[in-house]
Chain A
């Protein structure tokens, strides 16, 4: 594989930051549990949550998507990356942005949590850092687009390889969805942070953020889905059941991941109930690509099971290579995706949401989906790519399996009690809880369990980094050429719609206009609703 240093740099930065943020996460779990006494200065807790969220939500998945994206572009198109210097520039922007953002957080000047929470305003450098991370990722979006464009010109009559199609779909989704937070930062928050304005329209800011907030999850998810489709069938010795179904799943993500974000602001008064209903309905549609994917991937596993001699309606399951880390990762990921997805369907319902809104249920939900189903596949991607990036074998599959199991168990032990205490009504974003109060005492045991889950996750995360370091330092060996899975029926001829993005981008933008246009326009034209900015750590 070409440009291995570039891809490795992305992964190392991603996983290094991930390990640090993981330590913070485990500390947070303990400090707010009944195991330790109340933290004397909750500011430290919010500082930690801000750093954990910023790294885990903005920096870590973006770097994984970028590194994996460059690898896909080269392998799937069989073409060395064009614009390598630009790629390094993009990485530098992300790295500089991450450092710029984290310094004010560490100094306690930007404890605003990664979702910004206007009218709370932190130090301007925090937001500027986040913007730099996003701009760095936009370089990646442009490069993928250019690389695909160049390939298409040379191969006008060939279908775009599936992995690249999915990769670029994810990039375009990210480019459009990041616009919401960018608008919020550039026109609302940063002017207040640098002192150009002293008031902020918190409602409008929250609507802009909701534009980003939901589809960003699908941006995190897309490397995982790409791995399901393009790594998993090959790794277990099978075939991808349907190339077309895969394309349709990614197209659906592109269209319906975006115009649904208002389900995050169900309890906000500045958005009309009608638009909440519209977004809720479209959120229901986003289950379709996931259900299609689960079907296709299970069918692909069945092909592998039968190729390996499995017989009968269920015999193919036991014939699967369960000792293969990728097989294990996908199975565990699916379990977490199932529970997390079911929880998500509860969140998207206006009525059910009202019983769990802003409780620990939500924290449990997104940790299970993102930290669980998605990140476990980031591990799998790293395990699969590592030998090809380092030209060194990863020695111990046993260690990998142990790591995956630990992550899975840790995530279950963390998030299930979290969901439960959420149903009991435990609010999120609190540095301490009075468990001695009879009303809260029943939550204590669950929170302690979650705390242990956090420690298991920390152990699994550190083991992961250890496995990668050990692999990187091992003896050099010769590895085969990297390849993605082939479809059972490789596409011979595709309708233009399944081979390009113009139609789907038009629909994505069109739906944004129909679903967000009016609420945003109404808030923009409404006067007298701005509130004074509240500066973190300011002196009266």
Chain B
């Protein structure tokens, strides 16, 4: 394949290629950014420039339709994983003092004898989020709300530090090992239900999701029902409401019984 001379450099290839490419870019840009948006009948653009900006993906002020506000307060808490990790000793100590007033329902060692949730060893992010939501009114409970109202931000961080610091202890509830219901392991894909274990431990833990083992059965059940009815609505993006609405009452009972009977720490690595 050897040979003679390659012809001297001529610019015709360059001109032709650049020209052709430029024409293509121009034509597609005119079609995509001007022509097609101007043919849209269902979008109202104030001007040609507005249409071009829209097609180019520039953020435009949204249409003047009023947004629908919920009739209740929504959770404003932002959580990232590990955000409350490694609290100071002072914080835990202050939390212990503040925690005295919680003992009447949640138990002096964080283990409830009143079917309130057990808090000993719960994730800090969970305590933190729920207290903030009780305080803001995103979550309402006639007993709990008045307790949360006077708490400062620091109080809430300290309480979260204290309860997450406490060791998990076996609760008042008898242990009776039952096989995991399918909804815990696999969820129900056709109803849009992710498995319980994919957030609450066992498969994975997500920030803001509590571990549930040996939590009181009536508490789990009442919360599922509250999510389903919308009485409880502080779950971000309706995660739990969407799940609970799709669950049957049998499934709720089964899940509550299952988690209440699980050995402590079985869902966490």
Instruction: State the A residues within 8 Å of B (CB).
Output: 38, 40-43, 155, 157-159, 161-162, 198, 255, 270-278, 281-282, 285, 430, 432-434, 437, 439-440, 486-487, 490-499, 503-504, 507, 510-511, 514-515, 518-519, 522, 526, 532-535, 537-540
Are A157 and B3 touching (Cβ within 8 A)? yes
Tell me, rounded to whole Å, the shortest Cβ–Cβ distance linking A103 to chain B: 18
- B interface residues with partner A (beta carbon < 8 Å): 1-7, 9-10, 13-14, 17-18, 21, 24-25, 28-29, 31-33, 36-37, 52, 54-59, 78-82, 123-126, 185-186, 188-190, 195, 198, 203-209, 268-269
Q: When chains A and B are docked, how far (Å) is the Cα of A99 from the Cα of B138?
A: 48
CB closest chain-B residue, reference A439: B190
Q: For the complex, what is the distance from the CA of A281 to the CA of B31, rounded to whole Å?
A: 10
A255 — which chain B residues lie within 8 A by C-beta? 21
Name the CB-closest residue of B to A198. B80
Asked if residues B3 and A492 are in contact (CB atoms below 8 Å), the reply is yes
Closest beta carbon of chain B to A379's beta carbon, Å:
28
Partner of A503, one of B3, B13, B24, B31: B13
Residue in chain A with minimal CB distance to B125: A540
Contact call A273/B9, Cβ cutoff below 8 A: no
Q: Contact: B209 with A277, CB < 8 Å?
A: no
Asked if A157 and B207 make an inter-chain contact with CB atoms under 8 angstroms apart, the answer reads: no
Given the complex, which residues of A lie within 8 Å of B56, measured CB to CB?
Answer: 272, 274-275, 518, 522
Q: List 26 A-B contacts (CB under 8 A).
A: A38-B185, A40-B186, A157-B3, A157-B6, A158-B2, A158-B3, A159-B3, A159-B6, A198-B80, A272-B54, A273-B32, A274-B33, A274-B55, A274-B56, A274-B57, A277-B55, A285-B24, A434-B189, A491-B3, A492-B3, A493-B3, A496-B13, A507-B17, A511-B25, A540-B82, A540-B208
Chain A residues within 8 Å of B4, by CB: 157, 492-493
Contact between B14 and A503 (Cβ–Cβ < 8 Å)?
A: yes
**Residue from the list A437, A487, A510 in contact with B190, Cβ < 8 A:** A437
Q: Which residue of A lies closest to B54 (CB)?
A: A272
A161 surroundings in chain B (CB, below 8 A): 1
Distance to closest chain A CB from B211 (angstroms): 9
Chain A residues with CB under 8 A of B81: 534-535, 538-540
Residue of A nearest to B57 (CB): A272
- Given known A-B contacts A278-B32, A440-B190, A539-B82, A503 and B17 have beta carbons under 8 A apart: yes
Distance, CA A23 to CA B246, complexed state (A): 37
**A491 and B1 contact, CB distance less than 8 A:** yes
**Chain A proximity of B117: nearest CB distance (Å):** 16
Q: How far is the CA of A405 from the CA of B203 in the complex (A)?
A: 41
Central interface residue in B80, B185, B198, by most chain A CB within 10 Å = B80
A433 to B209 alpha-carbon distance, docked (Å): 25
Contact A281–B205 (Cβ < 8 Å): no
Question: Apart from A278-B32, A490-B1, what are 10 other A-B pairs with CB-CB below 8 Å?
Answer: A272-B54, A274-B37, A275-B32, A275-B55, A486-B1, A493-B6, A494-B6, A532-B80, A538-B205, A540-B125
CB-nearest residue of chain A to B208: A540
- Most chain B Cβ neighbours within 10 Å, of A282, A497, A498: A497
The residues of B that contact A439 with a CB separation of less than 8 Å are 190
With A273-B37, A493-B5 given, is the CB distance from A526 to B21 under 8 Å? Answer: no
Inter-chain contact A540/B126, CB cutoff 8 Å: yes
Please judge, given known A-B contacts A274-B37, A486-B1, A491-B1, whether A539 and B205 are in contact too, CB under 8 Å: yes
Q: Which chain A positions have C-beta within 8 A of B203? A: 41-43
Q: Which 9 A-B pairs rank lowest in CB-CB distance, beginning with the nearest?
A: A272-B57, A274-B55, A277-B32, A497-B13, A274-B32, A274-B33, A538-B81, A540-B123, A490-B1
Q: Is the CB of B18 within 8 A of A495?
A: no
Distance of A506 Cα from B18 Cα, bound (Å): 9
Residues of A within 8 A of B18 (CB): 507
Contacts of A158 in B (CB 8 A): 1-3
Nearest to A523 among chain B residues (CB) is B57
Closest CB-CB distance, A46 to chain B, in whole Å?
A: 11
State the Cβ distance, A9 to closest chain B Cβ, in Å: 30
Nearest neighbor of B26 in chain A, beta-carbon distance: A514
Which chain A residue lies CB-closest to B40?
Answer: A273
Q: Are A432 and B10 in contact (CB under 8 A)?
A: no
In the assembled complex, the CB of A241 is this many whole angstroms from the nearest CB of chain B, namely: 15
Q: B57 touching A270 by the CB < 8 A rule?
A: yes
Chain B residue at smallest Cβ distance from A111: B204
Please indicate the chain B residues that have their CB under 8 angstroms from the CB of A538 in the complex: 81-82, 205, 207
Q: A519 and B25 in contact (CB under 8 A), knowing A434-B189, A538-B81, A539-B205?
A: no
- How long is the Cα–Cα vector from A499 to B269 in the complex, in angstroms? 61
Decide: A497 near B21, CB < 8 A? Known: A158-B2, A272-B58, A434-B190.
Answer: no
Known A272-B57, A275-B57, A495-B6; contact A159-B1, beta-carbon cutoff 8 A: yes
> Once the chains are docked, how many angstroms separate the CA of A511 from the CA of B17?
12
Query: Which residues does chain B contribute within 8 Å of A277, judged by CB atoms?
Result: 28, 31-32, 36, 55
- Expressed in whole angstroms, the Cα–Cα distance for A281 and B125 within the complex equals 49
Q: Which residues of A lie under 8 Å from residue B3 when comparing CB positions?
A: 157-159, 490-493
